[in-house]
Structure 1
C-alpha cells in the first residue's frame, strides 16, 4: 500500500507477516533464490558474522526489520495482549503471557529478508489504545529497542533485540540476544523472556525455522516457563516441524503445574499435571491469520526517520519489480548511512538515541530504557475490525 500525502508519496505499507504470507505469490520473491544465495555466501567462512553483508534488493522483503518486530506486537487477530491483564489468577495471567509470547513468532519466507534499519530509524504505530514505538539504537552491532504502552489496560512492553547471524556452511543461524519485558502495572507483575533462534537451512530442503529454548519468568509470582522450539534438522517430519514442548512450574520448588505441547503455526495446549485437563491456549489460525495492513491516519505526523518513509522508494520499486531502481535507492540510503558515520567520527561525536537510553556490558549484553513513560498515539494506525476500510489486527 502506497499512501499519498501533500508532498507526494509518503510511506509504503505492506501486509504483515502472517500464516498466509509464506504461501503467497509475492512479486518480490527472487527466482532461483537458492543459487543466488549460495553465490553471495561463496566467500563467507563458516562462523562469520553476516551483519555487514549488504543484500541486493532482490533478497529483501519490502519492509524494515523494525516493522517486522513491531508487527509481532501490534498485529494480532485476537486480543491476546489485553487478555493477559484481565485474567483473575496469577497462573492464568502467566499462561496468557506464554500464549502471547508464542504469537510473536511469525512464519518467514525462505530467501528474502527485511532491510537492516539505519541508525536512528523509527517505527511508530497504534492499535486502539496500544501505542508502539521502535528505534534503531545501534547500527554496528545492530540493536533495536521497542517501547509499547497501553494506558487504558495499564500495560507496558520493553524490548531490546540484538540479532547475531552466523554462517555455518549448510545453514545460517541467528541468535536474537536481548530480553523482552511485559509489565502488568496494576498487578505489579513483570514477565521477562528471551527469543528463539532463527535458522535458515539450504540443504537438504530449503527452509526457515524458529528453534531453541525460551525462558519466561515472573519474579513477583515465582512462576516460570521453559519452551523448546523445534524444527527439522534433516528430513521433514510433520510431528517435529514448528513444534513446541515445555512446562510451567514454580521456580522455588521446580514443581511442574502445566505441560506445554503443540505447534506454533497450529495450536498449543497445556495439560494440568494434577487433573490431566488439556486446554488450548494458542490457536495460530485465530491469532496470526487474516492480518490487515496498517494505514496512515495523519500524513503530516510522519517523522523523517519513520521506517516506512525511509525505505519507501526501495519498497515501491521492489513491489513493481524495478530492480535497478530499487538497487539505486537502497545504495543511496546505505551510502548516506556510511557518510554520516564518517562525519561523526571525524568530529568526535557520539550519537545518542532519541527515544531510549542504552547500555551494554559483557555480562548482560545490550539493554535499553525508554526516555518517556508513555508512548504517544501514532500517525500510522491499525484499523479496527468494524472499520469500513476492512479488517484489522485487533
Structure 2
C-alpha cells in the first residue's frame, strides 16, 4: 500500500532549476579544461580552477537522475505513439540547429590547435550526426557532448519497449527498475557487448534511481523503492573511479569529491521526490529549464572557439570565461524562443497527424479483414472438408441423374 496519497503528475519547477545547474557544471568543466594558448595544458593557465572545474563533468550524472524522474512522470497515461512523438519533438529541433550552427562555426573559424576537439566534420559526418545515431554508426560527433544523447536514446528505447508499450503502471515501472538493476549487476560477468550497448550499465543506475524517486513522489516511499535507490547509489559509487579515469588528465584526481557530488545529486532529487519542494513554483525556474538543452548543445565547440580567439586577442580569462558562458545562455534562449519552440510544435503536430493517418488506415484494414472473416454477415460460412465431400457426392449424383432418360 502507498505510504502517502497518490500525487498526480505535474511540472516540478525545482527540477528545471536543477537541470540548469547540471548544464552549468558541464559548461564550467569544459571552459576551464582547455589549452588556451594551444601549447600548455589547462592547469598551466588556471591551476586551481582546472582541478575544481574538472568535477563539473558529473553534471551529466545529475542530468540522468532528472531524466529518469521526468520521463517516468511525463509518460504516465500516454500510449507508445504519443511517447515517441513527445521525445522526437523535444530532442531533435534544437539538436538539428546545434549541429548546423556548430559545423558553420568550425568551418569559418577552423579547429584551434591544442584543443580537446580536433575533428573537422565532413558533409556525410554532418548528415549522420543529424540522425543522432552517429555514435553507433562510428561517425565522429560534430560536438563531443552529443555522446550523452545516445545514452538518453537507449533509456527511452528500453522504457518504451518494457513499460510504455503495455501502459505505464506502478508495478511495471518497479519491475523495469528491478530487471534493469539485475542486468547492470550481471553485465561485467556476462561480458556481452550487445548487453552493454543496450543496457548501458555505466549510467543505468542514475536513470533507475530517477524512476524510483518519481514513484516515491507519486505513490509515497516504501522499502522496495528505498532499496532500488540505495542499490543504484552503491552501483554509482562503484563506477565513479572508472568514470574519472576515462578522462585522461595531467594532474592527480581524487575520487572522493566525485562521490560527494554524486551523493549530493541523489540527495537533492530525493528532497524533490519526498515533496519538500512542491510549493516552489518560481517562473524563472521554468525559463531556466528551457535554456538547459540548447545551452548544453551549443556551449562546447562554439564556446571554446570564442575563448581561444578571445585569449589570443589578449582578453583576461577572469572575465572572458563568465562572459562567454553568459553569451551562450543568451544564444540558448534565442534558440529556444525562435527555433526550438516553433519547430517542436510543427514537428509534433505533423507526427500526430501522421500517427492519426496510420491509425485510421489500420482501422480500415481491420474492418476489411473482419468483413471477410469466417461467419461474417452476408457471406457463406466456409464448409468443412467433410461437408465438401458430401456436397461433391450430391453434385455428382445430380449430374448422373440428369443424363439418364427415364421411361415414359
TM-score normalized with structure 1 length = 0.32
Larger Rg computed on CA atoms: 2
TM-score normalized with structure 2 length = 0.31
